[in-house]
Amino acid sequence: MTDFATRLFIDGQFVDGQGPAETAYEPALGKPLADVPSASLDQVDQAVRAANGAYKDWAKRPPKERSLALLRIADAIEARVDQLAATESRNAGKPLRFVRGGELANVADVFRFFGTAVRNMPGPASGNYRSSKMTSLMRRDPVGVVAQIAPWNYPLLMAAWKIAPAIAAGNAVVIKPSELTPLSLLALSEIFAEVLPAGVVNVVCGNGPDVGNALISHDLVRMISLTGDVRTGRAVLQAAAGPMIKRTHLELGGKAPVIVCEDADLDKLVDTLREASFYNAGQDCTAACRIFVHQSLAQKLTDKLETMITSLVYGRPERDDVEFGPVISARQLERVEGFVSRARGEGADVIQGTPADTEGFFHTPTLVAAPITAEIVQKEVFGPVLSLTPFNDVQEAVDWANQSEYGLGSSVWSRQAEVAMEIANALEYGVTWINTHGVMATEMPHGGMKNSGYGSDLSMQSLLDYTQVRHLMIG
């Protein structure tokens, strides 16, 4: 059934998983793509021990050497972009042109950025802070073995966000991709095998409760980094409070509000939402998924959104014209449909694009007009679904946004800089865009507040998160 790499990567070797196989699907067809044997608990232990052995030497390599390895990884990703993009597109249901041109370019850029950043670690100057006879200096050392747990929505990009800063800083990692989308990371491991010393990166596959839990609970793990659900974040915090206390880095869910003021440029907004709400079929933790609009603009915006939604092109990922593909699984499709049908049941107005004319896990783009208390406005849907709720004054919209359990992405739309800045300053969100939404820069931190987690991905901040600060004093 498979032309894909399906073996685990442990201590520099590709090995067959000895646990039960998980089936990876092709969501655009709704059919199995490959069976991937999971790691046994023994293999998880071997991977952690391999990382623990490898990091001691890797940590001692000068930053220049680690940097060169990351730059080589980036070059190799670009050289193999076709194979990696095809694998990612089929397993995650992403339009091939976006994976090839956008996501894979970002993956390479992330390795390149952290390869450069590690040679530019910031910190106070060494000096005589207590007396002329006492010299202080600050070191940033790696943390040790980092257990990393990745989600299915951007399998390679999220893996890159985790692996690149961790190994640049001198740590060694054991990463577990989502059981739904392991194939692209296993393909990327061929590059790790060529470039990195054995054990610096290890990849184990399998489900969360068995393989993931064994990994994050291992006593030799010093830090756990998760991108995933809030519930999984709680499991990580429990594992981190075991016999050996572990550091944690959590990137969890989101429910991004889009606050549209009375003077907003609606055409620019709708053009932006076309991508910011529907890219990756809305399965994005910062997707612009709930609009709070000044009541004077509600009807006009609804009309414009209806025109946009009914013109969105979605379908098979290999087509050159599609803007998004299927959702990840039959379960996710059912979940998204459940939100929309419950909203309908509560009397919400629902506007939808044309139904999908193909098999696979496709959900039609959807706009739901709903009150702030509606489930669809409060809970993370993670599908091509947008809600719209009118507000009376801006303070009401800010209060609604801040009452959320989430605090990851948000945006404010106003033509007046001082109004937009005042709202942005008041929002309890890790990322706030003004007159745009969803645009990332590798140099800038990405992370959440409240139930969206803490710790930064991307930027120098992420590199620092994967280091341990130490003070050395010479008396």
Question: How far apart are CB 408 and ligand NAD at their closest, in Å?
Answer: 5
Among 107, 204, 252, 368, binds ligand NAD (CB under 6 A): 252
Query: Can you give the C-alpha Rg of the chain in angstroms?
Result: 23
| CA dist., res. 269 & res. 435, Å (int) | 7
For residue 352, the minimal CB distance to ligand NAD (Å) is 23
Our CB check for ligand NAD shows the closer of 161 and 391 to be: 161
Q: Is 285 in the site for ligand NAD (CB under 6 A)?
A: yes
33 lies in the site for ligand NAD, by CB under 6 A: no
Tally the residues of the chain: 475
**Would you count residue 390 as binding ligand NAD (CB under 6 A)?**
no
Task: Indicate the residue among 69 and 458 with the shorter CB distance to ligand NAD.
Answer: 458
Specify the pairing of strand 21-26 against strand 31-37. antiparallel
d(CA 304, CA 256): 20
Among residues 253, 282, 360, 455, which is the contact residue for ligand NAD, using CB under 6 A?
A: 253
Q: Which of residues 153-182 bind ligand NAD (CB under 6 A)?
A: 153, 158, 176, 178-179
Other Cβ atoms closer than 10 A to 294: 22
Q: Site mask, ligand NAD, residues 402-441, x = CB under 6 A? A: ------x---------------------------------
What are the tokens at 379? 């809970």
Which of the 8 DSSP states describes residue 446?
B
Strand pairing partners for 361? none
Q: What single string gives the DSSP state of each residue in 70-84?
A: HHHHHHHHHHTHHHH
Give Cα separations from 200 to 65, 67, 190 (angstroms).
14, 14, 13
For the bound state, the minimum distance from the C-beta of residue 85 to ligand NAD, rounded and expressed in Å, comes to 19
Judged by CB under 6 A, the stretch of 122-130, 150-158, 188-196, 342-350 that binds ligand NAD is 150-158
Does 374 bind ligand NAD (CB under 6 A)? Our answer is no
One symbol per residue from 53 to 82: x for binding ligand NAD (CB under 6 A), - otherwise; what is it? ------------------------------
d(CA 286, CA 382): 10
Which helix (H) or strand (E) is 97 found in, with range?
helix 96-98
**Of these residues, 205, 261, 285, 289, which one is catalytic?**
285
H or E stretch including 366?
Answer: strand 366-369
Using the minimum distance from each CB to ligand NAD, give the nearer residue, 46 or 67.
Answer: 46
Of residues 178 and 389, the one with the C-beta less far from ligand NAD:
178
Q: What is the DSSP pairing of strand 247-251 with strand 221-227?
A: parallel
Amino acid 271 reads D
The one-letter amino acid at 210: D
Question: Pattern of binders to ligand NAD over 190-229, x per CB under 6 A?
Answer: -----------------xxx--xx--x----------xxx
Q: Residue 6 or residue 414: which is nearer to ligand NAD going by CB? A: 6
Closer by beta carbon to ligand NAD, 136 or else 207: 207
Catalytic residue (choose from 22, 26, 103, 251)? 251
> What three-state secondary structure class fits 139?
strand
Q: What's the CA gap between 300 and 323, in Å, rounded? A: 24
Sheet of 172-176, strand order: 13-15, 8-10, 201-203, 172-176, 145-149, 221-227, 247-251, 453-454
CB of 261 or CB of 464, closer to ligand NAD: 464
Which lies closer to ligand NAD via its Cβ, residue 150 or residue 423?
Answer: 150
205 is catalytic: no
Query: Is 285 in the active site?
Result: yes
Instruction: Point out which span in 187-195, 250-258, 307-315, 353-361 binds ligand NAD (CB under 6 A).
Output: 250-258
User: Is residue 364 near ligand NAD by the rule CB under 6 A?
Assistant: no
Per the DSSP assignment, residues forming a β-bridge with 141 are: 468
Candidates 45-53, 258-266, 418-426, 448-456; binding stretch for ligand NAD (CB under 6 A): 448-456
Q: Which is closer to ligand NAD, CB of 37 or CB of 170?
A: 37
SS3 (DSSP) at 115: helix
Q: How far is CA 278 from the centre of its chain?
A: 16
Q: How far is the CB of 393 from ligand NAD (least distance, A)?
A: 30
93 interacts with ligand NAD by CB under 6 A: no
Q: What CA–CA distance (Å, rounded) separates 313 from 326?
A: 12
Instruction: Compute the least distance from the CB of residue 164 to ligand NAD, in Å.
Output: 15
Signed CA dihedral, 86, 89, 95, 99: sign only: negative
User: Which residues are identified as catalytic?
Assistant: 251, 285
Summarize as ranges the residues that interact with ligand NAD (CB under 6 A). Answer: 149-153, 158, 176, 178-179, 207-209, 212-213, 216, 227-229, 232, 235, 251-254, 285, 380, 382, 408, 448, 452-453
